[in-house]
Amino acid sequence: MLFKQSRLLVLALMAAMSLSACNDKSEKPAAGDGMAAMSQEGIPARVEHPQVREVTEWREFTGRFQAMRRVEIRARVSGYLDEVKFEDGQIVNEGDVLFVIDPRPYQIAVDGAQANYDATYAEYKRAKKLRSSRAISEEDYDARVQAMQTTRAELDKANLDLEFTQVKAPFTGRISNNRIDVGNLVSGDSTLLTTLVSTSPIEFYFEASETDMLNYLRARKRETDAQDMLKGYPVYVRLQDEDEFVHEGKINFLDNELALDTGTIQARAVFDNEQAIFEPGMFARLRIAKGAPSERVLIPQKIIATDQNLKYVYALDGDNKAVRKYVTLGDVTGDGMQIVHEGLSAEDRIIVGGLHMIRQPGTLIVPLDAAAMAEQQQSSAEVGEAE
């Protein structure tokens, strides 16, 4: 009997709790009811037309600077090194003396060759006088001429060897460190003394793919040789610590074939380097215009969505419903706008704000401009704080 009374009491309590819950539900709307009501009236979203303005599209490449001229400095004669006449790493001018090899043995050789030449030249002059009076045969005269010419050649060689004891800079540039100290024996045409590279102008080498080259040539729309089309065309580079492409140069070379292993073609640009900003071996980023500036459709990057490998944005149809517009994209401009090649026009109305509220195409939209959208968001925030 007691068990039955306890069971009846529990059932009575459960019925009372159920009735209370029903009353609470009738007083407070469900969480999804507000969203459903908004969907019926339309979701507020910021809408605007794409921008249309004249822009330049670029292609970018990574490359490396190289000196236009580089030479390994070697002596042309052998001997002991007497003097090094430069500081490691300094700029030297064309004709500056860099190394001096002991000139004394070569000076002695010059003196001996000079004496031999003087003697044969005197014999030649006497033979020439005797020839006019026919007191010497033609054979003897020819022998005197030949002896004089031979000793003259020996004297010239001796003078040249003496001149080569001074190793000079073949052009203006930056010298490396000396590779051999004073007092060491230098072997002619063998011992490496140092290296010299030119500094200005300087060249920049980079490689472009076959697709890049074809796109560029077609964008130029000229029926001419690729070499003629590219030479002199302006390009710009930025260094590793720079944000902008501030250094201007010009294309001066395009290779005559693509590399079979990589499918790329080598190109070269030349830059002024009077301020010695660029160093051989330095990496940089280069950009070149795809073509002349032209009018393009531009949209903010943040509104672009992805459907597998397709890009799209939300726009409004004639009934103010959200529809997907699939687009073909180009470059990004300096101010962060995305260039659209296909899929949008200046007349389209694209959704640029409130995209998080759009769950699927066909959603009814209440189009707002920037000011109205800000006001609506402010009102929503105030309502939320009041609650």
| Other residues' Cβ atoms within 10 Å of the Cβ of residue 353 | 21
pLDDT tens figures, 139-162: 888 999 999 999 999 999 999 999
Q: How far apart are CA 164 and CA 100, in angstroms?
A: 9
Q: Is there a domain that residue 191 lies in?
A: no
Peptide bond into 201 cis (omega under 30): yes
pLDDT tens figures, 219-230: 655 545 555 556
Residue 144: give the domain boundaries. Answer: 103-164
Domain identity same for 313 and 279: no
DSSP 8-state class, residue 98: E
Q: How many domains does the chain have?
A: 3
Residue 317: give its domain's CATH number.
2.40.420.20
Q: Which of 228, 262, 289 is at the close of a domain?
A: 289
Domain identity same for 237 and 282: yes
Q: Is there a domain that residue 1 lies in?
A: no
377: tokens are 């968001």
Residue 235: give its domain's CATH number.
2.40.30.170
Q: Are 234 and 216 in contact (CB under 8 A)?
A: no
Q: How far apart are CA 182 and CA 53, in angstroms?
A: 67
Q: Is there a domain that residue 376 lies in?
A: yes
Residue 158: give its domain's CATH number.
1.10.287.470
Give me the pLDDT at residue 83, please: 96
Please give the angle made by the CA atoms of 376, 380 and 382, to the nearest 5 degrees. Answer: 115
Domain identity same for 205 and 274: yes
Q: What is the pTM of this model?
A: 0.68
Q: Which of 254, 289, 324 is at the close of a domain?
A: 289
Q: Is there a domain that residue 275 lies in?
A: yes
Per-block mean pLDDT, blocks of 10 residues, the chain (387 long): 40 44 45 50 90 90 96 97 96 96 97 96 90 84 94 97 97 95 96 96 93 72 54 86 93 88 92 93 92 88 92 94 94 89 94 89 88 69 53
Domain identity same for 107 and 251: no
Domain identity same for 324 and 359: yes
